[in-house]
Structure 1
Amino acid sequence: MSNNLLKGKRGIIFGALNEMSIAWKVAERAVEEGAVITLTNTPVAVRMGQVSELGEKLNAEIIPADATNVEDLEMVFAKSMEILGGKIDFVLHSIGMSPNVRKKRPYDDLDYDLLNKTLDISAISFHKMIQVAKKMDAIAENGSILALSYVAAQRTLFGYNDMADAKALLESIARSFGYIYGREKGVRINTISQSPTMTTAGSGVKGMESLMDFANRMSPLGNASAEECADYCIVMFSDLTRKVTMQNLYHDGGFSSMGMSLRAMTQYNKSFDEYRNENGDICYG
Protein backbone atom coordinates (compact mmCIF):
# COMPACT_ATOMS: atom_id res chain seq x y z
CA MET A 1 0.00 0.00 0.00
CA SER A 2 1.36 3.41 -0.98
CA ASN A 3 1.26 6.45 1.28
CA ASN A 4 3.14 8.70 -1.20
CA LEU A 5 5.91 9.15 1.38
CA LEU A 6 8.47 9.83 -1.36
CA LYS A 7 6.27 11.66 -3.85
CA GLY A 8 8.39 14.00 -5.96
CA LYS A 9 11.69 12.72 -4.58
CA ARG A 10 14.68 11.50 -6.56
CA GLY A 11 16.92 8.68 -5.44
CA ILE A 12 19.88 6.46 -6.27
CA ILE A 13 19.95 2.82 -5.20
CA PHE A 14 23.41 1.23 -5.04
CA GLY A 15 23.68 -2.55 -4.93
CA ALA A 16 20.50 -4.17 -6.28
CA LEU A 17 21.50 -7.52 -7.81
CA ASN A 18 18.51 -9.87 -7.74
CA GLU A 19 15.24 -10.44 -5.92
CA MET A 20 17.14 -11.58 -2.81
CA SER A 21 18.76 -8.14 -2.47
CA ILE A 22 17.52 -5.71 0.15
CA ALA A 23 18.38 -2.96 -2.34
CA TRP A 24 16.00 -4.59 -4.83
CA LYS A 25 13.16 -4.41 -2.30
CA VAL A 26 14.03 -0.82 -1.41
CA ALA A 27 13.95 0.20 -5.07
CA GLU A 28 10.51 -1.35 -5.52
CA ARG A 29 9.13 0.35 -2.40
CA ALA A 30 10.67 3.73 -3.27
CA VAL A 31 8.94 3.80 -6.65
CA GLU A 32 5.73 2.54 -5.09
CA GLU A 33 5.89 5.51 -2.69
CA GLY A 34 6.19 7.99 -5.55
CA ALA A 35 9.94 8.39 -6.09
CA VAL A 36 11.88 8.31 -9.33
CA ILE A 37 15.21 6.50 -9.12
CA THR A 38 18.31 5.30 -10.88
CA LEU A 39 19.94 1.95 -10.17
CA THR A 40 23.67 1.30 -10.10
CA ASN A 41 25.94 -1.69 -9.58
CA THR A 42 29.25 -2.90 -10.96
CA PRO A 43 29.35 -3.64 -14.70
CA VAL A 44 29.86 -7.35 -13.91
CA ALA A 45 26.86 -7.39 -11.56
CA VAL A 46 24.73 -5.63 -14.16
CA ARG A 47 25.70 -8.22 -16.78
CA MET A 48 25.35 -11.27 -14.56
CA GLY A 49 22.54 -10.20 -12.23
CA GLN A 50 18.90 -9.46 -12.86
CA VAL A 51 19.01 -5.71 -12.34
CA SER A 52 17.97 -5.07 -15.95
CA GLU A 53 14.63 -6.73 -15.16
CA LEU A 54 14.19 -4.43 -12.17
CA GLY A 55 15.03 -1.40 -14.28
CA GLU A 56 12.36 -2.32 -16.82
CA LYS A 57 9.80 -2.99 -14.12
CA LEU A 58 10.40 0.35 -12.37
CA ASN A 59 11.20 2.40 -15.46
CA ALA A 60 14.53 3.17 -13.82
CA GLU A 61 17.74 3.71 -15.76
CA ILE A 62 20.68 1.48 -14.84
CA ILE A 63 24.12 3.07 -14.54
CA PRO A 64 26.96 0.50 -14.42
CA ALA A 65 29.69 1.78 -12.11
CA ASP A 66 32.35 0.69 -9.67
CA ALA A 67 31.52 2.27 -6.30
CA THR A 68 35.18 2.13 -5.27
CA ASN A 69 36.15 4.35 -8.22
CA VAL A 70 35.76 8.10 -7.70
CA GLU A 71 35.38 8.88 -11.41
CA ASP A 72 32.64 6.28 -11.72
CA LEU A 73 30.84 7.78 -8.74
CA GLU A 74 31.06 11.26 -10.26
CA MET A 75 29.47 9.82 -13.38
CA VAL A 76 26.68 8.17 -11.39
CA PHE A 77 25.68 11.39 -9.65
CA ALA A 78 26.01 13.53 -12.78
CA LYS A 79 23.94 11.13 -14.90
CA SER A 80 21.37 10.60 -12.17
CA MET A 81 20.77 14.34 -11.78
CA GLU A 82 20.46 14.65 -15.55
CA ILE A 83 18.08 11.69 -15.87
CA LEU A 84 15.95 12.55 -12.85
CA GLY A 85 15.90 16.29 -13.45
CA GLY A 86 17.48 17.67 -10.32
CA LYS A 87 19.42 17.05 -7.14
CA ILE A 88 19.15 13.72 -5.36
CA ASP A 89 16.93 13.42 -2.27
CA PHE A 90 18.00 9.99 -1.05
CA VAL A 91 20.74 7.43 -1.58
CA LEU A 92 21.02 3.81 -0.45
CA HIS A 93 24.45 2.18 -0.06
CA SER A 94 23.81 -1.57 -0.08
CA ILE A 95 27.28 -2.81 -0.96
CA GLY A 96 29.32 -5.43 0.84
CA MET A 97 31.72 -8.19 -0.09
CA SER A 98 34.66 -9.97 1.54
CA PRO A 99 37.13 -11.87 -0.64
CA ASN A 100 38.50 -13.44 2.55
CA VAL A 101 35.09 -14.88 3.35
CA ARG A 102 34.70 -16.12 -0.20
CA LYS A 103 38.07 -17.83 -0.04
CA LYS A 104 37.28 -19.20 3.45
CA ARG A 105 40.21 -17.43 5.10
CA PRO A 106 39.60 -17.35 8.89
CA TYR A 107 39.98 -14.10 10.83
CA ASP A 108 43.31 -15.17 12.34
CA ASP A 109 44.75 -15.96 8.90
CA LEU A 110 43.55 -13.07 6.73
CA ASP A 111 45.10 -12.13 3.44
CA TYR A 112 45.77 -8.43 3.98
CA ASP A 113 45.45 -7.49 0.33
CA LEU A 114 42.01 -9.08 0.42
CA LEU A 115 41.24 -7.26 3.69
CA ASN A 116 41.97 -3.96 1.96
CA LYS A 117 39.50 -4.94 -0.76
CA THR A 118 36.88 -5.84 1.85
CA LEU A 119 37.23 -2.44 3.50
CA ASP A 120 37.30 -0.55 0.20
CA ILE A 121 34.23 -2.27 -1.22
CA SER A 122 32.16 -2.52 1.94
CA ALA A 123 32.98 0.72 3.78
CA ILE A 124 35.38 3.14 2.11
CA SER A 125 33.11 3.18 -0.94
CA PHE A 126 30.52 4.79 1.37
CA HIS A 127 32.96 7.59 2.20
CA LYS A 128 33.86 8.03 -1.47
CA MET A 129 30.19 8.14 -2.43
CA ILE A 130 29.36 10.82 0.14
CA GLN A 131 32.49 12.86 -0.55
CA VAL A 132 31.79 12.87 -4.29
CA ALA A 133 28.15 13.84 -3.72
CA LYS A 134 29.14 16.68 -1.40
CA LYS A 135 31.81 18.09 -3.70
CA MET A 136 29.33 17.99 -6.60
CA ASP A 137 26.56 19.46 -4.42
CA ALA A 138 24.46 16.57 -5.73
CA ILE A 139 22.28 15.99 -2.65
CA ALA A 140 19.29 18.24 -2.05
CA GLU A 141 19.05 20.05 1.27
CA ASN A 142 17.56 17.84 3.98
CA GLY A 143 18.34 14.78 1.88
CA SER A 144 18.87 11.32 3.37
CA ILE A 145 21.77 8.89 2.91
CA LEU A 146 21.56 5.33 4.25
CA ALA A 147 23.90 2.35 4.42
CA LEU A 148 23.13 -1.18 5.54
CA SER A 149 25.10 -2.49 8.51
CA TYR A 150 25.02 -5.42 10.94
CA VAL A 151 25.35 -5.95 14.70
CA ALA A 152 28.75 -7.64 14.14
CA ALA A 153 30.12 -4.08 14.11
CA GLN A 154 29.59 -4.11 17.89
CA ARG A 155 29.56 -7.80 18.80
CA THR A 156 31.65 -10.75 17.74
CA LEU A 157 29.71 -13.30 15.72
CA PHE A 158 31.42 -16.47 14.57
CA GLY A 159 32.06 -16.59 10.85
CA TYR A 160 31.37 -12.93 10.06
CA ASN A 161 35.10 -12.43 9.73
CA ASP A 162 36.57 -9.17 8.38
CA MET A 163 33.13 -7.95 7.34
CA ALA A 164 32.71 -7.02 11.03
CA ASP A 165 35.62 -4.59 10.70
CA ALA A 166 34.09 -3.18 7.53
CA LYS A 167 30.71 -2.60 9.20
CA ALA A 168 32.37 -0.86 12.16
CA LEU A 169 34.14 1.48 9.74
CA LEU A 170 30.92 2.02 7.79
CA GLU A 171 29.11 3.18 10.93
CA SER A 172 31.99 5.47 11.88
CA ILE A 173 31.87 7.11 8.45
CA ALA A 174 28.14 7.74 8.88
CA ARG A 175 28.77 9.57 12.16
CA SER A 176 31.76 11.59 10.99
CA PHE A 177 30.27 12.64 7.65
CA GLY A 178 26.82 12.99 9.22
CA TYR A 179 28.09 15.83 11.38
CA ILE A 180 29.70 17.68 8.48
CA TYR A 181 26.93 17.20 5.92
CA GLY A 182 24.21 17.85 8.47
CA ARG A 183 25.82 21.07 9.67
CA GLU A 184 26.37 22.42 6.17
CA LYS A 185 23.41 21.13 4.14
CA GLY A 186 20.97 19.50 6.54
CA VAL A 187 21.71 16.14 4.91
CA ARG A 188 21.23 13.24 7.31
CA ILE A 189 23.35 10.11 7.24
CA ASN A 190 22.44 6.90 9.06
CA THR A 191 23.08 3.17 9.03
CA ILE A 192 20.49 0.44 9.50
CA SER A 193 21.68 -2.65 11.37
CA GLN A 194 19.50 -5.33 9.81
CA SER A 195 18.74 -8.86 11.00
CA PRO A 196 20.78 -11.57 9.27
CA THR A 197 19.17 -11.83 5.84
CA MET A 198 19.72 -14.48 3.19
CA THR A 199 20.93 -12.19 0.43
CA THR A 200 23.51 -13.25 -2.14
CA ALA A 201 26.24 -11.68 0.02
CA GLY A 202 24.81 -13.07 3.26
CA SER A 203 24.73 -16.60 1.90
CA GLY A 204 28.54 -16.55 1.78
CA VAL A 205 28.87 -16.14 5.56
CA LYS A 206 29.88 -19.37 7.33
CA GLY A 207 26.96 -20.89 9.24
CA MET A 208 24.45 -18.34 7.92
CA GLU A 209 21.43 -20.61 8.31
CA SER A 210 22.35 -21.40 11.92
CA LEU A 211 22.95 -17.71 12.60
CA MET A 212 19.54 -16.81 11.21
CA ASP A 213 17.87 -19.50 13.32
CA PHE A 214 19.67 -18.33 16.47
CA ALA A 215 18.81 -14.68 15.83
CA ASN A 216 15.19 -15.59 15.19
CA ARG A 217 14.97 -17.52 18.48
CA MET A 218 16.64 -14.67 20.36
CA SER A 219 14.52 -11.85 18.92
CA PRO A 220 11.15 -11.21 20.60
CA LEU A 221 9.73 -10.06 17.25
CA GLY A 222 11.70 -12.52 15.14
CA ASN A 223 14.07 -11.66 12.31
CA ALA A 224 13.23 -8.69 10.11
CA SER A 225 12.78 -9.63 6.47
CA ALA A 226 14.24 -7.83 3.46
CA GLU A 227 10.78 -6.43 2.69
CA GLU A 228 10.46 -5.07 6.23
CA CYS A 229 13.92 -3.52 5.97
CA ALA A 230 12.80 -1.81 2.76
CA ASP A 231 9.84 -0.30 4.63
CA TYR A 232 12.21 1.08 7.27
CA CYS A 233 14.48 2.55 4.60
CA ILE A 234 11.49 4.34 3.03
CA VAL A 235 10.66 5.95 6.36
CA MET A 236 14.29 7.06 6.71
CA PHE A 237 14.20 8.58 3.21
CA SER A 238 10.97 10.40 3.94
CA ASP A 239 10.37 13.77 5.60
CA LEU A 240 9.09 11.95 8.69
CA THR A 241 12.69 11.50 9.90
CA ARG A 242 14.12 14.95 9.20
CA LYS A 243 15.94 15.15 12.54
CA VAL A 244 17.41 11.65 12.63
CA THR A 245 21.09 11.58 11.75
CA MET A 246 24.43 10.00 12.71
CA GLN A 247 22.56 6.98 14.10
CA ASN A 248 23.03 3.25 13.78
CA LEU A 249 19.42 2.09 13.84
CA TYR A 250 18.78 -1.51 14.83
CA HIS A 251 16.16 -3.26 12.72
CA ASP A 252 16.49 -6.74 14.12
CA GLY A 253 13.35 -7.67 16.04
CA GLY A 254 15.03 -6.76 19.33
CA PHE A 255 18.04 -9.08 18.95
CA SER A 256 20.57 -6.35 19.77
CA SER A 257 19.04 -5.82 23.25
CA MET A 258 18.80 -9.50 24.20
CA GLY A 259 21.01 -11.67 26.36
CA MET A 260 19.07 -14.94 26.36
CA SER A 261 15.52 -15.71 25.30
CA LEU A 262 13.16 -18.52 26.33
CA ARG A 263 13.15 -19.97 22.80
CA ALA A 264 16.95 -19.98 22.59
CA MET A 265 17.29 -21.49 26.09
CA THR A 266 14.78 -24.21 25.25
CA GLN A 267 16.72 -25.18 22.14
CA TYR A 268 19.99 -25.04 24.07
CA ASN A 269 18.62 -27.39 26.72
CA LYS A 270 17.43 -29.80 24.04
CA SER A 271 20.99 -30.17 22.83
CA PHE A 272 22.05 -31.17 26.35
CA ASP A 273 19.42 -33.91 26.49
CA GLU A 274 21.50 -35.89 24.03
CA TYR A 275 24.49 -35.85 26.36
CA ARG A 276 22.97 -36.79 29.74
CA ASN A 277 24.19 -39.98 31.43
CA GLU A 278 22.01 -42.46 33.28
CA ASN A 279 22.13 -40.27 36.40
CA GLY A 280 20.85 -37.27 34.45
CA ASP A 281 24.14 -35.39 34.62
CA ILE A 282 25.30 -33.43 31.57
CA CYS A 283 28.20 -35.08 29.79
CA TYR A 284 30.53 -32.67 28.03
CA GLY A 285 31.79 -35.07 25.32
Structure 2
Amino acid sequence: MSYNLLKGKKGIIFGALNEMSIAWKVAEKCLEEGAEIVLTNTELSIRMGQIKDFAEKNNVPLIPADATSEEDLERLFKEAMELLGGKIDFILHSVAMSLNVRKKRPYDNLDYDFLQKTLDISAISFHKVLQTAKKLDAINEWGSVVALSYVAAQRTMFEYNDMADAKAMLESIARSFGYIYGREKRVRVNTISQSPTITTAGSGIKGFDSLIDFAERMSPLGNASADECANYCITLFSDLTRKVTMQNLFHDGGFSSMGMSYRAMHQYNKSFENGETK
Protein backbone atom coordinates (compact mmCIF):
# COMPACT_ATOMS: atom_id res chain seq x y z
CA MET A 1 0.00 0.00 0.00
CA SER A 2 1.30 3.43 -0.97
CA TYR A 3 0.74 6.54 1.14
CA ASN A 4 2.43 9.02 -1.26
CA LEU A 5 4.75 10.03 1.59
CA LEU A 6 7.50 11.03 -0.83
CA LYS A 7 5.43 12.55 -3.62
CA GLY A 8 7.45 15.33 -5.24
CA LYS A 9 10.66 14.40 -3.42
CA LYS A 10 14.00 13.46 -4.98
CA GLY A 11 16.79 11.38 -3.55
CA ILE A 12 20.00 9.40 -3.97
CA ILE A 13 20.34 5.79 -2.86
CA PHE A 14 23.88 4.55 -2.17
CA GLY A 15 24.77 0.87 -2.03
CA ALA A 16 22.05 -1.19 -3.70
CA LEU A 17 23.62 -4.36 -5.14
CA ASN A 18 20.91 -7.00 -5.58
CA GLU A 19 17.50 -8.01 -4.25
CA MET A 20 19.09 -8.95 -0.89
CA SER A 21 20.25 -5.36 -0.34
CA ILE A 22 18.36 -3.16 2.10
CA ALA A 23 19.18 -0.27 -0.26
CA TRP A 24 17.41 -2.17 -3.07
CA LYS A 25 14.29 -2.46 -0.90
CA VAL A 26 14.51 1.22 0.01
CA ALA A 27 14.75 2.16 -3.67
CA GLU A 28 11.61 0.14 -4.41
CA LYS A 29 9.70 1.77 -1.55
CA CYS A 30 10.82 5.25 -2.60
CA LEU A 31 9.39 4.71 -6.06
CA GLU A 32 6.16 3.30 -4.59
CA GLU A 33 5.81 6.39 -2.41
CA GLY A 34 6.13 8.76 -5.36
CA ALA A 35 9.79 9.81 -5.21
CA GLU A 36 12.26 10.29 -8.02
CA ILE A 37 15.61 8.66 -7.30
CA VAL A 38 19.14 8.25 -8.56
CA LEU A 39 20.99 5.03 -7.78
CA THR A 40 24.73 4.88 -7.24
CA ASN A 41 27.40 2.31 -6.48
CA THR A 42 30.97 1.56 -7.50
CA GLU A 43 31.61 0.41 -11.06
CA LEU A 44 32.72 -3.01 -9.73
CA SER A 45 29.52 -3.42 -7.70
CA ILE A 46 27.42 -2.43 -10.69
CA ARG A 47 29.16 -5.09 -12.79
CA MET A 48 28.84 -7.76 -10.07
CA GLY A 49 25.28 -7.01 -8.95
CA GLN A 50 21.87 -6.64 -10.54
CA ILE A 51 21.33 -2.95 -9.87
CA LYS A 52 21.72 -2.10 -13.56
CA ASP A 53 18.71 -4.31 -14.30
CA PHE A 54 16.70 -2.53 -11.58
CA ALA A 55 17.60 0.87 -13.01
CA GLU A 56 16.64 -0.12 -16.55
CA LYS A 57 13.40 -1.78 -15.47
CA ASN A 58 12.28 1.25 -13.46
CA ASN A 59 13.76 3.91 -15.76
CA VAL A 60 15.95 5.21 -12.94
CA PRO A 61 19.33 6.92 -13.50
CA LEU A 62 22.34 4.90 -12.32
CA ILE A 63 25.54 6.86 -11.76
CA PRO A 64 28.76 4.96 -10.95
CA ALA A 65 30.62 6.57 -8.05
CA ASP A 66 33.03 5.54 -5.32
CA ALA A 67 31.70 6.90 -2.01
CA THR A 68 35.27 7.22 -0.71
CA SER A 69 36.23 9.56 -3.56
CA GLU A 70 35.45 13.25 -3.10
CA GLU A 71 35.87 13.79 -6.84
CA ASP A 72 33.35 11.04 -7.63
CA LEU A 73 30.91 12.37 -5.06
CA GLU A 74 31.06 15.90 -6.42
CA ARG A 75 30.39 14.59 -9.92
CA LEU A 76 27.57 12.39 -8.61
CA PHE A 77 25.74 15.22 -6.86
CA LYS A 78 26.08 17.59 -9.82
CA GLU A 79 24.81 14.97 -12.29
CA ALA A 80 22.00 13.91 -9.96
CA MET A 81 20.77 17.49 -9.53
CA GLU A 82 20.88 18.00 -13.27
CA LEU A 83 18.95 14.79 -13.96
CA LEU A 84 16.40 15.43 -11.20
CA GLY A 85 15.96 19.10 -12.04
CA GLY A 86 17.11 20.60 -8.78
CA LYS A 87 18.27 19.89 -5.25
CA ILE A 88 17.58 16.57 -3.58
CA ASP A 89 15.47 15.83 -0.49
CA PHE A 90 16.92 12.61 0.90
CA ILE A 91 19.95 10.31 0.84
CA LEU A 92 20.42 6.72 1.96
CA HIS A 93 23.97 5.66 2.85
CA SER A 94 24.12 1.86 2.77
CA VAL A 95 27.83 1.34 2.24
CA ALA A 96 29.96 -1.08 4.28
CA MET A 97 32.81 -3.54 3.78
CA SER A 98 35.56 -5.14 5.87
CA LEU A 99 38.51 -6.97 4.36
CA ASN A 100 39.43 -8.20 7.84
CA VAL A 101 36.06 -9.94 8.01
CA ARG A 102 36.38 -11.28 4.48
CA LYS A 103 39.90 -12.55 5.14
CA LYS A 104 38.85 -13.94 8.54
CA ARG A 105 41.35 -11.86 10.47
CA PRO A 106 40.35 -11.87 14.18
CA TYR A 107 39.99 -8.59 16.06
CA ASP A 108 43.18 -9.18 18.04
CA ASN A 109 45.17 -9.77 14.84
CA LEU A 110 43.87 -7.10 12.47
CA ASP A 111 45.60 -6.03 9.30
CA TYR A 112 45.75 -2.27 9.85
CA ASP A 113 45.69 -1.46 6.16
CA PHE A 114 42.46 -3.46 5.99
CA LEU A 115 41.18 -1.59 9.06
CA GLN A 116 41.78 1.74 7.37
CA LYS A 117 39.80 0.53 4.35
CA THR A 118 36.98 -0.62 6.65
CA LEU A 119 36.76 2.80 8.26
CA ASP A 120 37.11 4.68 4.98
CA ILE A 121 34.42 2.69 3.17
CA SER A 122 32.00 2.05 6.03
CA ALA A 123 32.19 5.32 8.00
CA ILE A 124 34.39 8.08 6.61
CA SER A 125 32.54 7.81 3.28
CA PHE A 126 29.43 8.98 5.17
CA HIS A 127 31.27 12.13 6.24
CA LYS A 128 32.45 12.66 2.67
CA VAL A 129 28.89 12.33 1.37
CA LEU A 130 27.63 14.87 3.89
CA GLN A 131 30.51 17.28 3.41
CA THR A 132 30.25 17.19 -0.37
CA ALA A 133 26.48 17.67 -0.29
CA LYS A 134 26.83 20.64 2.07
CA LYS A 135 29.57 22.30 0.01
CA LEU A 136 27.42 22.02 -3.10
CA ASP A 137 24.27 23.03 -1.21
CA ALA A 138 22.73 19.93 -2.78
CA ILE A 139 20.03 19.15 -0.20
CA ASN A 140 16.80 21.10 0.21
CA GLU A 141 15.84 22.59 3.56
CA TRP A 142 14.24 19.93 5.79
CA GLY A 143 15.99 17.23 3.76
CA SER A 144 16.92 13.92 5.38
CA VAL A 145 20.06 11.78 5.33
CA VAL A 146 20.00 8.24 6.74
CA ALA A 147 22.83 5.72 7.19
CA LEU A 148 22.46 2.08 8.18
CA SER A 149 24.12 0.94 11.39
CA TYR A 150 24.09 -2.01 13.81
CA VAL A 151 23.94 -2.54 17.58
CA ALA A 152 27.59 -3.70 17.56
CA ALA A 153 28.41 0.02 17.73
CA GLN A 154 27.29 -0.14 21.39
CA ARG A 155 27.70 -3.79 22.33
CA THR A 156 30.34 -6.41 21.66
CA MET A 157 28.96 -8.90 19.14
CA PHE A 158 30.95 -12.06 18.48
CA GLU A 159 32.87 -11.98 15.18
CA TYR A 160 31.51 -8.58 14.08
CA ASN A 161 35.14 -7.52 14.19
CA ASP A 162 36.31 -4.08 13.01
CA MET A 163 32.91 -3.36 11.50
CA ALA A 164 31.84 -2.53 15.07
CA ASP A 165 34.42 0.27 15.16
CA ALA A 166 33.18 1.53 11.81
CA LYS A 167 29.55 1.60 12.94
CA ALA A 168 30.50 3.48 16.12
CA MET A 169 32.27 6.08 13.97
CA LEU A 170 29.33 6.21 11.57
CA GLU A 171 26.93 7.07 14.39
CA SER A 172 29.30 9.69 15.78
CA ILE A 173 29.51 11.36 12.37
CA ALA A 174 25.71 11.50 12.22
CA ARG A 175 25.60 13.35 15.54
CA SER A 176 28.48 15.73 14.84
CA PHE A 177 27.51 16.57 11.27
CA GLY A 178 23.81 16.50 12.13
CA TYR A 179 24.29 19.40 14.54
CA ILE A 180 26.03 21.53 11.91
CA TYR A 181 23.74 20.59 9.02
CA GLY A 182 20.61 21.07 11.12
CA ARG A 183 21.69 24.43 12.50
CA GLU A 184 22.78 25.88 9.16
CA LYS A 185 20.57 24.17 6.56
CA ARG A 186 17.70 22.45 8.45
CA VAL A 187 18.91 19.08 7.14
CA ARG A 188 18.30 16.00 9.30
CA VAL A 189 20.96 13.32 9.78
CA ASN A 190 20.18 9.98 11.46
CA THR A 191 21.32 6.36 11.60
CA ILE A 192 19.12 3.28 11.75
CA SER A 193 20.42 0.39 13.82
CA GLN A 194 18.83 -2.52 11.99
CA SER A 195 18.32 -6.14 13.08
CA PRO A 196 20.86 -8.59 11.64
CA THR A 197 19.62 -8.97 8.08
CA ILE A 198 20.63 -11.46 5.41
CA THR A 199 22.46 -9.40 2.79
CA THR A 200 25.49 -10.05 0.61
CA ALA A 201 27.69 -8.12 3.06
CA GLY A 202 26.19 -9.60 6.22
CA SER A 203 26.47 -13.18 5.03
CA GLY A 204 30.26 -12.82 5.02
CA ILE A 205 30.37 -12.56 8.83
CA LYS A 206 31.27 -15.81 10.59
CA GLY A 207 28.33 -17.28 12.52
CA PHE A 208 25.86 -14.82 10.99
CA ASP A 209 23.06 -17.39 10.80
CA SER A 210 23.43 -18.07 14.53
CA LEU A 211 23.43 -14.32 15.22
CA ILE A 212 20.15 -13.94 13.32
CA ASP A 213 18.61 -16.84 15.24
CA PHE A 214 19.78 -15.45 18.60
CA ALA A 215 18.39 -11.99 17.82
CA GLU A 216 15.09 -13.53 16.74
CA ARG A 217 14.80 -15.38 20.06
CA MET A 218 15.76 -12.30 22.06
CA SER A 219 13.49 -9.77 20.34
CA PRO A 220 9.88 -9.58 21.57
CA LEU A 221 8.72 -8.58 18.08
CA GLY A 222 11.26 -10.71 16.23
CA ASN A 223 13.88 -9.45 13.79
CA ALA A 224 13.02 -6.58 11.46
CA SER A 225 13.19 -7.57 7.81
CA ALA A 226 14.82 -5.63 4.97
CA ASP A 227 11.35 -4.64 3.71
CA GLU A 228 10.41 -3.34 7.15
CA CYS A 229 13.66 -1.40 7.35
CA ALA A 230 12.82 0.17 4.00
CA ASN A 231 9.46 1.28 5.36
CA TYR A 232 11.19 2.88 8.34
CA CYS A 233 13.59 4.71 6.04
CA ILE A 234 10.64 6.11 4.13
CA THR A 235 9.22 7.66 7.30
CA LEU A 236 12.56 9.35 7.97
CA PHE A 237 12.70 10.70 4.43
CA SER A 238 9.17 12.06 4.74
CA ASP A 239 7.91 15.31 6.25
CA LEU A 240 6.41 13.37 9.17
CA THR A 241 9.80 13.30 10.96
CA ARG A 242 11.01 16.86 10.43
CA LYS A 243 12.28 17.29 14.00
CA VAL A 244 14.11 13.95 14.23
CA THR A 245 17.86 14.39 13.84
CA MET A 246 21.22 13.29 15.30
CA GLN A 247 19.61 10.05 16.47
CA ASN A 248 20.61 6.42 16.30
CA LEU A 249 17.22 4.77 15.90
CA PHE A 250 16.96 1.10 16.82
CA HIS A 251 14.85 -0.89 14.38
CA ASP A 252 15.34 -4.34 15.81
CA GLY A 253 12.11 -5.68 17.30
CA GLY A 254 13.19 -4.61 20.77
CA PHE A 255 16.50 -6.52 20.81
CA SER A 256 18.54 -3.51 21.93
CA SER A 257 16.50 -3.15 25.14
CA MET A 258 16.55 -6.83 26.12
CA GLY A 259 18.69 -8.64 28.67
CA MET A 260 17.38 -12.22 28.42
CA SER A 261 14.19 -13.47 26.81
CA TYR A 262 12.16 -16.58 27.65
CA ARG A 263 12.90 -18.13 24.24
CA ALA A 264 16.65 -17.53 24.53
CA MET A 265 16.75 -18.91 28.09
CA HIS A 266 14.71 -21.95 27.04
CA GLN A 267 17.15 -22.70 24.23
CA TYR A 268 20.08 -22.18 26.60
CA ASN A 269 18.65 -24.65 29.11
CA LYS A 270 17.99 -27.20 26.35
CA SER A 271 21.70 -27.28 25.62
CA PHE A 272 22.22 -29.00 29.01
CA GLU A 273 19.59 -31.71 28.56
CA ASN A 274 22.19 -34.26 27.48
CA GLY A 275 23.63 -34.50 30.95
CA GLU A 276 26.06 -31.63 30.71
CA THR A 277 26.78 -29.68 33.91
CA LYS A 278 25.47 -26.14 34.08
Mapped pair 1:178 → 2:174: no
Q: 1:57 deviation in Å?
A: 2.5
2:51 is aligned with 1:51? yes
Conserved in 2, the CA contact under 8 Å of 1:145 and 1:189? Answer: yes
Return the alpha-carbon distance in structure 1 between the equivalents of residues 96 and 245 of structure 2: 22
Matched, 1:68 2:68: yes
1-side partners of 2:91 and 2:78: how far apart? 14
One-letter amino acid of the structure 2 residue matched with residue 211 of structure 1? L
TM-superposed CA distance for 1:58, in Å, is: 2.2
Amino acid at match of 1:131: Q
Question: How far 1:102 moved relative to its partner?
Answer: 0.3
Counterpart of 1:111 in structure 2 is 111
Deviates more, 1:76-85 or 1:50-59: 50-59
Report the Cα offset of residue 283 of structure 1.
2.2
Q: Which whole-Å CA distance do the structure 1 matches of 2:149 and 2:48 have between them?
A: 25
What residue number does 1:283 align with? 277
- Normalising by structure 1, we get a TM-score of 0.97
Contact 1:149 1:192 in 2 (8 A): yes
Counterpart of 2:89 in 1: which secondary structure? strand
**Secondary structure of 2:230's aligned partner:** helix
Separation (CA, whole Å) in 2 of partners of 1:173 and 1:184: 16
Tell me the alpha carbon deviations over residues 219-262 of structure 1, each in whole angstroms, 9 at most, x when there is no partner: 00000000000000000000000000000000000000000000
Inter-partner Cα distance in structure 1 for 2:148 and 2:9:
21
How many residue pairs match? The answer is 278
User: Following superposition, which runs of at least 4 residues in structure 1 exceed 3 angstroms of deviation?
Assistant: none
Q: CA deviation at 1:54?
A: 1.1
Establish whether residue 9 from structure 1 lines up as the match of residue 9 from structure 2. yes
CA distance in 1, matches of 2:112, 2:192: 27
Q: Give SS of 2:143's match.
A: strand
Partner Cα distance (1:150, 1:219) in 2: 15
- In the alignment, residue 69 of structure 1 is paired with which amino acid? S
Stretches of structure 1 that go unaligned for 5 or more consecutive residues are 277-281
Inter-partner Cα distance in structure 2 for 1:76 and 1:5 = 25
Matched residue of 1:273: which SS? coil
Secondary structure of the equivalent of 1:175?
A: helix
Q: Contact (CA 8 Å) 1:28, 1:58: kept in 2 or not? A: no
Name the residue aligned to 2:164: 164
User: Secondary structure at 2:56's aligned position in 1?
Assistant: helix
1-structure distance, mates of 2:12, 2:54: 14
Gaps of 5+ in 2: none
Could you tell me which residue of structure 1 aligns to residue 147 of structure 2? 147
Q: How far apart, in 1, do the equivalents of 2:54 and 2:233 lie? A: 18
1:187 maps to a residue whose letter is: V
1:171 maps to a residue whose letter is E
1:169-210 Cα shifts (integer Å, max 9, x gaps): 000000000000000010000000000001000001110000
- Fraction of identical pairs, as percent: 76
Partner AA of 2:53 in structure 1: E
Match of 1:279 in 2: none
Query: Paired residue for 1:225?
Result: 225
For the residue of structure 2 that corresponds to 1:272, the secondary structure is coil
Q: 2:122 and 2:143 mapped to 1: Cα distance?
A: 22
- Give the structure 2 partner of residue 122 of structure 1: 122
Greater shift in the superposed pair: 51-60 or 191-200: 51-60
Deviating more after overlay: 53-62 vs 68-77: 53-62
Structure 1 window deviating more from structure 2 (250-259 vs 56-65): it is 56-65
Deviations 1:84-124 (A, max 9, x none): 11101000000000000000000000000000000000000
Q: Distance in 1 between matches of 2:73 and 2:183?
A: 23
